[in-house]
C-alpha cells in the first residue's frame, strides 16, 4: 500500500474515532435524564439488547475463529463494564473518569510485552491527556477499593483495544461486532431480567432515549471502532478516547447548563494538546516508514493466536459507554 493511501486511511480512522468519542460524550446528558426512572442495570441491558438485535443477520457468517475472537472481545468489554459498575458505587463520577483514563498509558505499556516499540512522545501525550482529565474531574482523596475496581475497568478496556486491533485484521467489522454485542447483551439481560420486569412501564415511556443509546451510542460506535482500528494503532486509539470527557463536559454545559469553568477549559486544552502531539508524531513516523498499516498489522497479530459525585452522576458514569 502506498504512503498516500496509508495516510488517507489513517486520517479516516482518526475521524471515525473522534466521531465515536463525540457520540459517547452525548450520552452523559441523555443518561442523566433517563436514570431518574430506570436503574443502571436495566438501562445497560436494554441498550445492549437493542444494539445486538441490529446485528443478528450477521451471525449467519459465523465460523470458529470469528466466534473465538468475538467472544474474547465481548468478555474483555463486559469485564470493563462490570468492574466500572462496581467501582462507581463508592467513588465520584469525576474521579472514576480520571482513573478510567489511565488506559491511555496502559495500552502502550501492555504493547511493550508484545514487542512493540514505545516513543517518548507517546508517553508525553498520554501524560498530558491524563493530567487534563485530572484537572477537569479529579476531586481528591486517598486511594480506595472503588479506585481499584475502576482501575480494573481501565485495564480490561485496554486489553479490549489491543484485542480489537488484532481481530479487525481477521474478520469483517459487522460480523465481529455481532458476536461481541450478542454476548454482552445476553449476559447483561440475564443479570437485569428481574429488574426489567419491574421497570417495564418506565422502559416503554423512555423508548426515545433508549433507542438512541442502543442504536447510535452502542451499535454505531461498535462498528466505527472496529473499522477505525484497522487503520489506527491501539495506543493512538486509547489517546483519542480521552476526548470523551471533553465532549461530555461540552454537551453537559450546552444541554444541561452545567458549569464549565477555568479548570474545564484548562483540562480540555491539555487533552487537545496531547492529541496534536500524538498525531504530529504519527505523521513523522509514517513519513519515515516506521508505522505503515502493513507493519502494524504484523505487530498486532501478536495480540491473538494466528489461527481478535451524586448517585445520579455515578449511574451516568456506569452506563455512559
Q: Tell me the three-class secondary structure of 276-301, residue by residue.
A: HHHHHHHHHHHHCCCCCHHHHHHHHC
CA distance 13 to 244: 16
Q: Tell me the residue range of the domain where 175 lies.
A: 3-319
| Residue 17 in grid coordinates | 474515532
DSSP string spanning 10-62?
HHHHHHHHHHHHHHHHHHHHHHHHHTTTS-HHHHHHHHHHHHHHHHGGGGGG-
Task: Tell me the pTM.
Answer: 0.77
Cβ atoms of 136 and 264 closer than 8 Å: yes
Please list, in sequence order, all residues whose beta carbon lies within 8 angstroms of the beta carbon of residue 170, skipping any fewer than 6 positions away: 65, 66, 69, 304, 308
3 state SS of 236:
helix
What pLDDT is stored for residue 93 in this prediction? 65
Q: Residue 135 is placed in which grid cell? A: 484537572
Burial 142-178 (b: 16+ CB within 10 A, else e): eeeebbebbbbbbbbbbbbbbbbbbbbbbbebbbbbb
pLDDT at residue number 241 = 87
Task: Say what the pLDDT of residue 309 is.
Answer: 35
Q: Which residues of the chain have pLDDT under 50?
A: 287-288, 290-318
Query: For 98-141, what is each residue's pLDDT tens digit?
Result: 777 778 888 888 887 776 676 777 777 778 778 887 777 666 66
Domain total of the chain: 1
Amino acid at each position: 500500500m502506498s504512503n498516500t493511501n496509508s495516510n488517507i486511511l489513517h486520517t479516516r480512522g482518526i475521524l471515525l474515532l473522534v466521531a465515536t468519542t463525540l457520540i459517547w460524550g452525548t450520552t452523559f446528558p441523555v443518561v442523566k435524564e433517563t436514570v431518574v426512572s430506570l436503574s443502571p442495570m436495566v438501562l445497560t441491558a436494554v441498550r445492549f439488547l437493542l444494539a445486538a438485535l441490529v446485528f443478528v443477520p450477521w451471525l449467519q457468517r459465523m465460523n470458529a475463529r470469528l466466534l473465538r475472537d468475538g467472544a474474547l472481545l465481548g468478555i474483555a468489554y463486559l469485564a470493563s463494564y462490570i468492574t466500572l459498575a462496581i467501582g462507581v458505587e463508592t467513588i465520584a463520577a469525576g474521579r472514576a473518569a480520571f482513573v478510567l483514563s489511565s488506559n491511555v498509558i496502559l495500552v502502550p505499556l501492555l504493547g511493550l510485552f508484545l514487542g512493540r516499540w514505545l516513543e517518548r512522545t507517546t508517553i508525553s501525550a498520554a501524560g498530558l491527556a491524563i493530567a487534563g482529565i485530572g484537572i477537569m474531574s479529579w476531586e481528591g482523596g486517598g486511594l480506595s477499593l472503588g479506585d481499584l475496581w475502576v482501575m480494573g475497568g481501565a485495564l480490561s478496556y485496554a486489553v479490549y483495544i489491543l484485542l480489537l486491533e488484532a481481530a479487525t485484521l481477521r474478520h469483517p467489522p459487522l460480523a465481529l461486532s455481532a458476536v461481541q454485542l450478542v454476548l454482552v447483551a445476553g449476559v447483561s439481560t440475564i443479570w437485569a431480567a428481574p429488574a426489567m420486569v419491574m421497570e417495564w412501564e418506565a422502559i416503554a415511556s423512555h423508548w426515545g432515549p433508549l433507542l438512541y443509546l442502543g442504536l447510535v451510542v452502542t451499535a454505531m460506535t461498535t462498528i466505527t471502532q472496529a473499522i477505525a482500528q484497522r487503520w489506527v494503532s491501539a495506543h493512538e486509539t486509547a489517546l483519542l478516547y480521552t476526548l470523551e470527557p471533553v465532549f461530555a463536559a461540552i454537551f453537559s454545559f450546552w444541554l444541561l447548563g452545567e458549569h464549565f469553568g477555568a479548570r474545564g477549559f484548562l483540562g480540555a486544552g491539555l487533552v487537545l494538546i496531547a492529541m496534536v502531539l500524538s498525531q504530529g508524531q504519527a505523521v513523522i513516523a509514517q513519513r519515515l516508514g516506521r508505522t505503515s498499516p502493513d507493519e502494524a498489522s504484523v505487530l498486532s497479530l501478536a495480540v491473538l493466536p494466528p489461527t481478535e459525585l451524586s448517585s445520579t452522576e455515578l449511574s451516568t458514569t456506569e452506563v455512559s459507554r
